[in-house]
Structure 1
Amino acid sequence: MKEAYIAVDIGASSGRLMKSNYELDDRITLEEVHRFKNGFSQKDGHDRWEINRLIEEIINGLEKVKQSGIEKCYVGIDTWAVDYCLIDKHGCLKEAPISYRDDRTKGAVQEFTRHYSLEKLYEKTGIQIQPFNTIFQLLAEDQQKLREAHQLLLIPDYIGYVFTGKAVTEKTNASTMQLLNPESKNWDGELLKLVGLREEQLPPLVEAGTVLGTLLQEKFPTRDLPEATFITVATHDTASAVIGTPGCGENWAYISSGTWSLLGIETTLFNVSRQAFFENYTNEWGAHNTIRFLKNIMGMWLIQEVARMQKYQYSYAELAEQAAAAPGFQQFIDVNDPVFLNPDNMIEALQSYCRNTNQKVPETAGELARCIYDNLALCYAVELEKMEGLTGTGEKINKLHIVGGGANNLFLNQLTANAAGIPVEAGPGEATAIGNILMQMIATGIFNNLEEARKVIQKSFDFSIHQPEPFDNQIIEAYKSMIEGAKK
């Protein structure tokens, strides 16, 4: 029987188990085994993830894997970044982990600057300043709980620990904590001390592609599970998505388009220049000694929340159709404005922003969707231009790969191609799961390196190509002007 590979891929709004095999014609298959919802809820005064339910859903998915006839498999886990679990000396979870969207970090960046320069922090870590970064979460953490914790585990590492009993800290995800030093390739003692964390509380750092251990069947005596070997893949979902991006040869950039839109390039050099700091670009560690030089953009979160506020009256496809029928570029908004991070009502937040900046207020579902998609496309175009300047090579990016769930939005893909003035290749939609699986396959010897693995993506999955159409550059200039004015 062929070796089976299982990707456990959990994002901020949903999770899935995807099954894959390597075929003799140099293709990989991908099949969804189990899908489930994810989200946070208020408990004990904070927005917390239901981590135990996520683990139960993974068990349910693994049972389905066994029921499909698979006795043995490899498993890799990826999730969102920055959030963590505190573990006691008995190896038990102290409390449900707090979401990065919780308001406990409000004011944490300002508090941090009383002790340390943000520019120095950026020079030391290469990571953008975001109030939800782990370093600021730790600053806002209950210090007694932090001192009493035996270990701190990032979300995917905690899940792997539950299934194998082995505790590690995978590097691609660890870099988002803003506590790693690129020069030493290790934890920065000065920053750990500043937030009250001891290095012995952090499990050993490991590279993506490290074998973690085997499933402890005795922990789940009532469940019929396959014999599973867990591999620590690139556990940050963006790192896995970039592995699953079929960029090859050309001077390409990517957008990992989901709840967040992560726009960047793959490189081997850190860029901690003053301009990169000012523009809030980040240098996250990738698999195989690569760097993800990228910009965090609020992404599909805005349309997800609009759909939720409308009680999912329209599907995302229907919202895109209504957006296409609505007049374009009626509003300019800064999609990264903090008011959109976790509002009680996204529709009211969008409308208030437009009202406060003396712009036409979007009212209908189509107008709201068009406002979001127009401004995402404009933001992507402007950030691509900035990124070209920040690299300092003078080379133009000549192709943009959009992967992840947002790759299915043909309307937004075309808007992006038009605004950016370059071809967009959209797909695969399940790039994160694919990258997770490719990392497992590299670890087990099917592929020798990332380049070899990525060539298989082109053979195995479908894509849509969007050539740029004529676009009025005055729209981009008006957008830039409005955004700068709103910031002031």
Structure 2
Amino acid sequence: MNKHIAVDIGASSGRLVMGTLSDGKLTLEEIHRFSNGFTERGGSCFWDIDYLFGQIIIGLQTAKARGISECTLGIDTWAVDYVLLDAEGNRIQEVYAYRDSRTDGVMEEMAQWISPAAVYAKTGIQQLSFNTLYQLYIHDREELARADQILLVPDYLYYRLSGRKINEATNASTTQLLNLQTGEFDKDLLSLLHLRREQFAALTAPGESLGPLMDSLVKQYDLPQCELICAATHDTASAVLGVPLQSGRSSAYVSSGTWSLLGVELTQPINNPQAMAANYTNEWGAYGTYRFLKNIMGLWLIQEVRRLDGGRHSFAELARFAGEAEGFRSLIPCNAPRFLNPENMIEEIRVACAESGEPVPQTLGELALCIFDSLALSYRSYLQELEALTGTAVDVLQIVGGGASNELLCQLAADVTGKEVLAGPVESTALGNLAVQMIESGRVAGIAEARAIIGNSFPIVAYTPRPVPQLEKLLARWDALHAPFTGGRL
């Protein structure tokens, strides 16, 4: 089978992308694209999970109309958010979005029962206020007791398509409930949440076949015959699989989308006190790896600015406006909690600048450049931490995902980090999803071959560092502004 479809859903949009491998080259064709976003009702934030399932069906109908009669299919989405199912397999409640404020203060409350150091020693997962651990801690106990199964979002979408319940391992690790030593859900943490192991399905590794698309769906909607293959369902896990290998060079990656995830791929976790103090995470990767990385508030900042401006300008236009503004005029500490889900991002940035004595950005170009300058400087700060924690100097920074198409941001990252930046592929998440499908289908021998194919199939743009005027003064200013948020806790 040589038709593979990646269902790749992020916090702001989703799409179905078909990959075809021929003569050692992988080509992509976007079949269907749709918007995504949480809605606010009654003071809470929710995802429309039925809408997402419906969009997958529409995408598969489109594939069938284009003559695709059979294919493999894999799903990846964002992490941490979950669905509760009753004993009949029906959804119990709406799906909370991680930016919901219900977890405010929960980390501190839970610390009365188990220390953050003990949790990190068990799980190696960074302290973020929206982690599933804290979401479940604050969730209605009656609803949790009724839950026969707790599935993360992509697991639930697989269930709706196949009837099979799983907990895919790369995404399950982000719950902050998996024990690094046992490779299973931690008994102490489950007990603290008053949950039972049986409420979670078996951990499933990327590459496992989940069987065919349910025949009832095929007949009802006239869909292709699909073999469902368990992808690395955490979109960052798939994005990292889609990073081409840099032979003979020490590289770190930035998966740049709504979030910027900066890290390296390791074969052993680093969950020592130093890593905990810097708030680095050890998410499980595919094929026996760990993603040792830092969460950085990413393009969410500019996405919100664009939304509040009424979507009048494309992201490319906003980058052009930024290129016409004065460089490093205004800076913000991107990982400050205030930027997680403010009522008005534009005003939040302006107020933050005023409070810290930074010039207040007024125009769209000044706002955009404030964001891009601050993101690039964040990369520098956290890359230095990463090198210290791993004991390995990084030669090259590989930016993949949507941010790889932002030439200004990529050049700024090269300038302030002093590292060569390789930008691309933009579609790394879909490519990593497809890589697992091709390996499971026997089309590709393993992940090293898949990455080599990706590197030969898609353009990579190199950015060489340029001198930054008065760099020492800029870095001193940034370090003073950024210091309170070095740990990156949200």
Alignment of 1:239-250 (within 5 A): 239-249=237-247, 250=249
Amino acid across the alignment from 1:101: R
Amino acid across the alignment from 2:120: Y
Alpha-carbon distance in 1 for matches of 2:485, 2:131: 25
Query: TM-score scaled to structure 1, two decimals?
Result: 0.97
Distance 1:191 1:486, change over 3 A: closer
Alignment partner, residue 65 of structure 1: 63
1:447 and 2:444 correspond: yes
1:423 and 2:416 correspond: no
Give the secondary-structure state (helix, strand or coil) at the position aligned to 1:303: helix
- CA deviations on 1:295-350 (whole Å, 9 max, x unpaired) are 00000000000001111122111111111111111223110101000011000100
Which of 455, 462, 467 is equivalent to 2:464? 467
1:113 and 2:91 correspond: no
Q: 137-146 or 468-477, which moves further after superposition?
A: 468-477
Alignment partner, residue 55 of structure 1: 53
Deviation, structure 1 residue 474: 3.1
Alpha-carbon distance in 2 for matches of 1:28, 1:486: 41
Alpha-carbon distance in 2 for matches of 1:203, 1:6: 25
Alpha-carbon distance in 1 for matches of 2:8, 2:157: 12
Q: Any stretches of 5+ residues in structure 1 without a counterpart? A: none
Alpha-carbon distance in 2 for matches of 1:407, 1:436: 18
The question of whether the paired residues in 1 share the 8 Å contact of 2:245 and 2:455 is answered with no
Amino acid across the alignment from 2:10: G
Alignment partner, residue 458 of structure 1: 455
Alignment of 1:190-205 (within 5 A): 190-205=188-203
The question of whether the paired residues in 2 share the 8 Å contact of 1:3 and 1:72 is answered with no
The question of whether the paired residues in 1 share the 8 Å contact of 2:217 and 2:223 is answered with no
Alignment partner, residue 410 of structure 2: 413
Amino acid across the alignment from 2:426: G
The question of whether the paired residues in 2 share the 8 Å contact of 1:248 and 1:451 is answered with no
Amino acid across the alignment from 2:228: F
Which of 101, 107, 122 is equivalent to 2:99? 101
Alignment partner, residue 343 of structure 1: 342
Amino acid across the alignment from 2:224: P
- CA deviations on 1:355-386 (whole Å, 9 max, x unpaired) are 11122110100000010000000000111111
Deviation, structure 1 residue 458: 1.4
Q: 280-289 or 466-475, which moves further after superposition?
A: 466-475
Alignment partner, residue 398 of structure 2: 401
Deviation, structure 1 residue 45: 4.2
Alpha-carbon distance in 2 for matches of 1:261, 1:484: 19
Alignment partner, residue 328 of structure 2: 329
The question of whether the paired residues in 2 share the 8 Å contact of 1:425 and 1:464 is answered with yes
The question of whether the paired residues in 1 share the 8 Å contact of 2:239 and 2:430 is answered with yes
Which of 388, 408, 429 is equivalent to 1:432? 429
The question of whether the paired residues in 1 share the 8 Å contact of 2:218 and 2:225 is answered with no
Amino acid across the alignment from 2:299: M
Alignment partner, residue 288 of structure 2: 289
Alignment partner, residue 317 of structure 1: 316
Alpha-carbon distance in 1 for matches of 2:219, 2:351: 54
Alpha-carbon distance in 1 for matches of 2:311, 2:368: 13
Q: 125-134 or 269-278, which moves further after superposition?
A: 269-278
1:142 and 2:140 correspond: yes
Alignment partner, residue 121 of structure 2: 123
Deviation, structure 1 residue 44: 4.9
Give the secondary-structure state (helix, strand or coil) at the position aligned to 2:14: strand
Alpha-carbon distance in 1 for matches of 2:484, 2:424: 35
Deviation, structure 1 residue 484: 2.1
What percent identity do the matched residue pairs reach?
47
Alpha-carbon distance in 2 for matches of 1:485, 1:22: 48
Give the root-mean-square deviation of aligned CA atoms. Answer: 1.3
Alignment partner, residue 90 of structure 1: 88
The question of whether the paired residues in 2 share the 8 Å contact of 1:247 and 1:401 is answered with no
Q: 41-50 or 61-70, which moves further after superposition?
A: 41-50
Deviation, structure 1 residue 43: 3.2
The question of whether the paired residues in 1 share the 8 Å contact of 2:278 and 2:486 is answered with no
Alignment of 1:15-26 (within 5 A): 15-23=14-22, 25-26=23-24
* Runs ≥4 residues deviating over 6 A: none
Distance 1:226 1:219, change over 3 A: closer
Distance 1:190 1:467, change over 3 A: same
Alpha-carbon distance in 2 for matches of 1:198, 1:486: 36
Distance 1:485 1:59, change over 3 A: closer
The question of whether the paired residues in 2 share the 8 Å contact of 1:265 and 1:294 is answered with yes
Alignment of 1:138-217 (within 5 A): 138-217=136-215
Amino acid across the alignment from 2:2: E
